[in-house]
Structures are given as structure tokens and as C-alpha cells.
Amino acid sequence: MLREIVARGTPAQRDWAVRTYRTSEQFRGQRQAFVGAPELAAPIAAAGAGKERIVYDAQFGSTLPGRRARGEGDPPTGDKAVDEAYDGSGATYDIYQTVYGRNSIDGNNLRLDSTVHYQKGYDNAFWNGQQMVYGDGDEDQPEPERLFNRFTIAIDIIGHELTHGVTQYEAKLVYRNQPGALNESFSDVFGSLVKQRTLNQTADQADWIIGQGLFTANVKGVGIRSMKAPGTAYDDPVLGKDPQPAHMRDYNNTTADNGGVHINSGIPNYAFYVAAKELAGEIKWFPEGLGRIEARLAHFSIPEATPGKKEEAPSRDLPALDIVADKLFLNGNDLGRLELQAVNKALDWTIEKLVLTGPESTLRAEGRWESWALRPSVKIDKIDLRVGDAGKYLERVGYPGTMRQGTATLKGNLSWAGSPQSLDFATLSGELVLEAQKGQFQKAEAAVARLLGVLSMQSWITVDFRELFRRGFAFDTISSKATVTNGVLKTDDFHMQGPSADVRMRGEVDLNRETQDLHAKVEPSVGNSLASILVLAVNPAWGLGAFIIDKILKNPLGQALAFEYRVTGTWAHPEAKPLKADVRTPDATQEPPP
């Protein structure tokens, strides 16, 4: 960033950028000198009995530590930089001590010394190996040329820099290339955690921006880095564009910036952000045998499969799992409470128990992930899904507005090639039995919802029965048995009964290509005049027959007329071809007309 300012900035901006760069490099060298020799840092910042902070004022000079401005327990001074440095170092101490059981950054109650108002035009904050140093940004520059505010303004910057002290005492990472990028990433992670804890935020609520508020209004950017979206924090005529990558495939193999320590830190930053979003709770590892993971989570998000990435064979050393997650998320949808128990048996990862419980549903499953074959496969031997409100359930799993109310059960078994994470429709096979009662289909646009649109006839029967089905087909019962072979679902007895019609279908649905070839038979069962007038209007020949049967033979319309169709095309654009209309004779048991 400083290099960009030197290349693009005004003469004054270039001047202070060069001075800041030189001073920062001196501090980095001093900090690196203390790595491996922490005893050299002790004389200035000695260990105390507990949390102890002192903030000094350099009064725009370069002598450290400067004039004492505030000590532990002293009241606020009214100097924003002094008080922000005091509060920020306290918040950092607190998270390490309270959450991680670490007494100060060295683990031995090192006193946290800070110096503010360092030099004029110093655009940085720094842990120099012994204490914190903060510049005031560009507050001495003309308003149009100011890029940075004071560096105590962002509490995550304070947490970031103090964490360099933790790394100094604990990890001793070389400040270059990948170790240096990890060093910077660790600081970003804990800086963000300090900020989130101070603001009482969850991972979902946090902005994951490092240095928010640090830029002045002259800069086009939200912060110096984004852990959530590396490479998007700023795009400015003077500062340039945020250069951080989010993936190792975009690793920047550069000699600048000590081998890209501030650039490539975006990769582990993004990995931490994804992990933080995906789970929250307590995880324990037990090393016996192949190992066992025990997790009690507040939430767990199943990561999305990487588009175009080939499934890799699972390890033959998969550990046993005992996971309970209060909320399981898939594609942002809360699927309910998860209970999972799985063990590795003869190189099969066997799912002994999988229970997914939502407000309106319970799913139980047993199966295994076969890992020895050339193409690993998933086999779910037992599926038992019970739904108390199908409309709310479909909304929960990501298909809102698809159905109103209704109860349902789905039982059977399924298998597919690959991993449990990615359902491969091209190899999906199994058997399913569906029973549903008392619901109503509605129109929706998502792929699975469009398939329901085909089965409920809303997307293709609008020519003959638009008035009957325009509000959605209401059903009393739905029943069907189906087999699935390599992604093609076949049924011979899909049967749907409702107040307006009795519907039977047979044929195939290609789940992979989202197409169908179905034979449908529709028997309307609405009352006299509405049905006769409606059908007469849309097809005079069929309507006249219906009218005669209804009025002369005194036979209910639904028992006398049946329409048959062949439905092909895609789920999005089904094509219905009328085949015939059957007029049946009255029931033999029915009394003849007088």
C-alpha cells in the first residue's frame, strides 16, 4: 500500500509514505531481533501481577516510550488516542486471558505499554518487540490529501499488532514468504476476534473488515483488508486495488512485501472466515484407534462443493464421529438439529445414526460411505422422513412458496458415486415410497419446485383446466412408489386425489437433465355446471359430451370423463400433448334414469 502511495500520490503523500515505510522497516527488524531472544524485551515492559497497562505520549517525537499519559486504573484522559490505546490493549488482554487462559501476550503477565502521537504523519501502528507504537495518520495534512485517520481508531488494528507479540513469544515465525503470511493472518484473526468480542457480535454479524474507520472519506475503500472477501477491501486511485488472493491457486510469488506477507495472508484469512461461519461450539479429539471426533456445536454449515472440482477418494483413516449440532445449515438454510454417529468399519465409514430434527420434520437415516472402491460411493440403506407441515418444510430447505400445509412420509434407500457432501444425480439410484395428505401445491421457480409444478400439473395443464388449478392443486392424498436408476426416476403408480380431480401418472423423470416423459390421466371431479361450462368453453367436443352425460345420464362428471396427456420437455418448459378424452358408461350398480 505504501509503495502504491509513493507511485501514485502527491509529493506530500509520497514524502510521508517513504518516511513511514523506513520507520516501519526499522521496527520490523527490531521485532524480529527479539524472536528467539524474548529476554531482551523484558527490561522495558516487565511482567506484572495481572493486567497492567501504561499509555505514553510521544508528543509527535520519536523518543520511546515518551511521557506517561495514563496507567492501569486511571480515569479517561479525554485524549482519544490515549484512551483508545488503553481500552484496546485491555480488550486484547481480556480475550487472551478469559477465552484462551493466556496471561498477557507472553503468557507471563507482560505489562502492555503503548505510545501514541508518534511522529507527525506516521501512518502505521506497530508492535516493535517491546511495546505498541501508534501514529496519528494524516491529521497534519491538508484535508484533500488525507488518506488515514489515527491508528488507534480501529480496535482490530490494536488486537492485530499485539498478537504479533504473541507470535513473537510463542511461534517465532520467520517474517517472510508463507511463514510471514501466516504471521500476518494470525494477527488479523485475533484482531477481528477482539473487535467481535468488544461489539458482542457473532460470526454472522461481523463485517470481517480489518481497519474499518482507518480510511478518511477521500479513500474508496472500507478497510485495509477483508477476511470475508480478500481483494475487495479498497480500490482507490492513490492506494491502488486490494491485492489479496483468497485461494492458493492465486498465491502471489513476489519478492516485495517480504515475500507478500500482507498479500498472501488473505488465503488463511479467508480459510478462517469460512471455518468460523461453518461451525461454532466445542470440538474434542480422541486419538485411540483411528481417532474419534466429538463435537457439540451451536451451528454447523455444510460447505458447498467447489464447482468443477473432481471428487477425491476419501482417506482410509476416517475417524469416528459423534456430532451434535443445534442448527445444521446447507446453502444458508437451517435444516434443524443434527445428531450424527459414524465409525470406520473395514474401510467403510458407517453411519450408525443420523437424525435431523426440525420444527415440522424428522429425518432418520443409516448407511455407509464406501471408500475402498475405485469410485467411492455413498449408500443410504434406510431413509425415513416424516413431515408434519410440508409447506413449512419445503420453505426451510430452500423452496419457499412451493406448497401450503400437508403432511408427508418418504421412505426408501439411495446410493450415488462420490462423497456425502455432493449428491451426484448422474449415478443416483434407489427406491422411494411417498405418502402425502391434505396439502396444496403452489407455483415456484427453483428446479425441484418446477418438478413439483410438473407433477401437480400447474405448469402444463393451464389450457384445459386453468380455472381449476390456477390457485394450485389441492390434494387429499398422494401416493407413489418409484425406482431411481442412474438419475432416472421411474414410477408406474403416481396417484393424486383432490377435491377437483383424480390424477394418475406413470413414466420417467430425468433428475440430472431435468426432463420428463410422463403419461397422465386426469379425471375432474368438480360439480355440474362449472365443469360443463368450463370444458365446453375450452373444447366444444369434449364439453358437449360432458354436458350430455352429466344432465341426461345423471352421472357425476368426475366419474364419466377422463383426459389423458403425454407430458415431455423440461421442468421449466413442459410440453403437454392431449391424447384422448374417455367417456365411460354409468356404473352398473347405478339406478337407470326414470
DSSP one-letter string for 407-421:
EEEEEEEEEEES-TT
The three-point CA angle 177-18-13 to 5° equals 120
CATH number assigned to the domain with residue range 2-274, chosen from the 4 options 3.40.50.460, 3.20.20.80, 3.10.170.10, 3.30.420.10 = 3.10.170.10
C-alpha cell at position 238: 492513490
For residue 148, list its beta bridge partners.
215
pLDDT at 441: 87
How many residues can be counted in the chain?
A: 594
Conformation bin of residue 129: beta by default, left when phi > 0, alpha when psi is -120 to 50: left
pTM of the predicted protein model = 0.62
Cα 98–Cα 101–Cα 107 angle in degrees, nearest 5: 120
Per-residue pLDDT tens listing for the chain (594 residues): 767 777 777 777 777 677 776 776 665 565 555 565 555 555 444 555 689 999 999 999 999 999 999 999 999 999 999 999 999 999 999 999 999 999 999 999 999 999 999 998 888 999 998 999 999 998 888 898 899 999 999 999 999 999 999 999 998 888 899 999 999 999 999 999 999 999 999 888 999 999 999 999 999 999 999 999 999 999 999 999 999 999 999 999 999 999 999 999 999 999 999 888 888 888 888 888 888 999 999 888 876 554 444 555 555 567 899 999 999 988 778 889 999 999 988 667 899 999 999 999 999 999 988 865 556 889 999 999 999 999 999 988 888 888 899 999 999 999 998 877 778 889 999 999 999 999 998 865 555 556 666 676 666 654 445 455 556 788 999 999 999 999 999 999 999 998 888 899 999 999 999 999 999 998 887 443 444 444 444 444 444 444 443 443 444 444 446 788 899 999 888 888 888 776 554 443 344 444
Nearest alpha-carbon partner for 95 in 181, 224, 192, 223:
192
Predicted local confidence at residue 553, as pLDDT? 40
Q: What is the rounded distance in angstroms from the CA atom of residue 334 to the CA atom of residue 248?
A: 30
Extract the runs of DSSP E, i.e. beta strands, from 94-194. Answer: 112-116, 125-127, 132-134
Query: Which residues are paired to 441 by β-bridges?
Result: 403
In sequence order, the 6+-apart residues with CB closer than 8 A to the CB of 26 are none
Where is 117: in which H helix or E strand?
Answer: none
Angle at 129 between CA 127 and CA 135, to 5 degrees: 30
C-alpha cell at 78: 479525554
Distance from the first to the final alpha carbon of the chain: 98
Q: Indicate the helix (H) or strand (E) that contains 440.
A: strand 429-441
* Residue 522 Ramachandran class (φ > 0 left, ψ -120 to 50 alpha, else beta): beta
Residues 6 or more apart from 148 whose CB is under 8 A from it? 123, 137, 138, 214, 215, 216
Hey, which residues are catalytic here? 161, 262
Helix axes 11-34, 155-170, angle to 10 degrees: 30
Query: What is d(CA 181, CA 479) in angstroms, rounded to the nearest whole number?
Result: 58
pLDDT of residue 538: 41
Return d(Cα 484, Cα 411) in angstroms, integer. 13
- Report the alpha-carbon distance of residue 54 to residue 215 in Å, rounded: 27
The crossing angle, in degrees rounded to 10, of helices 80-94 and 155-170 is 50
